[in-house]
Amino acid sequence: MARERLNWSLPGMWVVLSGASWAGYAFITFITASGSATIHLGLMNGALVGAFWGVGVGLSQWIILRLVAQQAGWWIIATALGWTVGVALGWLVLEYIQVPVNDSVGSYFRWGWALRGCIGSAVTGIVIAVSQWVILRHWVRQALLWPVAIALAWAIAPILAWLVGVSVGLLQESALGDISMDLVLWLIFLSTTTTASLLSGALLVGGVSGITLRRLLHLHKDAGGEYLQHPAKQRP
């Protein structure tokens, strides 16, 4: 019964962790790509940032997974490796990709950033999802659903985040007018649009991740699976 409750609560906790991980990635990538950070886009910098972030994400997810899966430590390795390679490749793509960035909606929203973010996030998400699938396929049946769902969520999240940010920003522009000369209003504008953007993308990635994990657990149970185990530890 305790394990059954864990299988039901696991996706809920997973939503928060997965959503927060994407939001952190998106924020760091944005300030780096916009030139607001001391680091720059590129293969090596992406690998360093990805390794640091991946270990943290892997450890936080391992805390949950170890309650329902044996040898869950492999998840930390797979996640850290996926983030290292994924962010490195994603930042490499962002460094060299050429998309129009001059067309804007309103005064501050350039749609080129959304397109660049979509491509870079998709590359990173695919690598992370495939790396985790290598481990997940030993625990649950039909694990191929995982990389497909996660990659799509990571690809769509930047577009959703941009659309939400634009909507919130345009509402503020219409209500406040020109805010370029008012530092307080500008900071309010920036914080609300950024928060709304990151929150929407995080909810999408976290929601898809949690729903997919819950679906995999149901499929595993319906097919006769019990406790999530590594193949070497499964009962005959």
* DSSP, residue by residue, 86-106: HHHHHHHHHHH-----S-EET
Position 163 scores a pLDDT of: 86
Q: Which residue has the tokens 């939503």?
A: 15
Is residue 236 included in any domain, yes or no? no
- From the CB of residue 33, how many other CB atoms can be counted at a distance below 10 Å? 18
- The total number of structural domains that make up the chain: 1
pLDDT confidence band for 234 (50 / 70 / 90): very low
Average pLDDT over the chain reads 77
Amino acid at 52: F
Closest by alpha carbon to 193, among 108, 125, 100, 111?
108
Is residue 67 included in any domain, yes or no? yes
pTM above 0.85, yes or no: no
131: pLDDT strictly greater than 90: yes
pLDDT digits (tens, 9 = 90+) for 81-107: 999 999 999 888 887 776 555 554 444
* Residue with the larger pLDDT of the pair 172 and 35: 172
Position 51 scores a pLDDT of: 92
132: pLDDT strictly greater than 50: yes
pLDDT digits (tens, 9 = 90+) for 147-161: 999 999 999 998 888
Is residue 105 included in any domain, yes or no? yes
For residue 39, give its domain range: 2-225
Position 108 scores a pLDDT of: 47
Is residue 232 included in any domain, yes or no? no
121: pLDDT strictly greater than 80: yes
Most confident of 26-35, 113-122, 139-148: 139-148
Is residue 21 included in any domain, yes or no? yes
111: pLDDT strictly greater than 70: no
Is residue 51 included in any domain, yes or no? yes
pLDDT digits (tens, 9 = 90+) for 47-92: 888 899 899 999 988 888 777 777 788 999 999 999 999 999 988 8
Position 112 scores a pLDDT of: 62
Closest by alpha carbon to 124, among 158, 100, 161, 77?
158
pLDDT digits (tens, 9 = 90+) for 2-40: 344 444 566 677 888 888 888 888 888 877 776 555 556
H helices of the chain, in order, are 2-33, 43-65, 73-96, 111-136, 145-176, 183-222
Is residue 42 included in any domain, yes or no? yes
* Residue with the larger pLDDT of the pair 2 and 190: 190
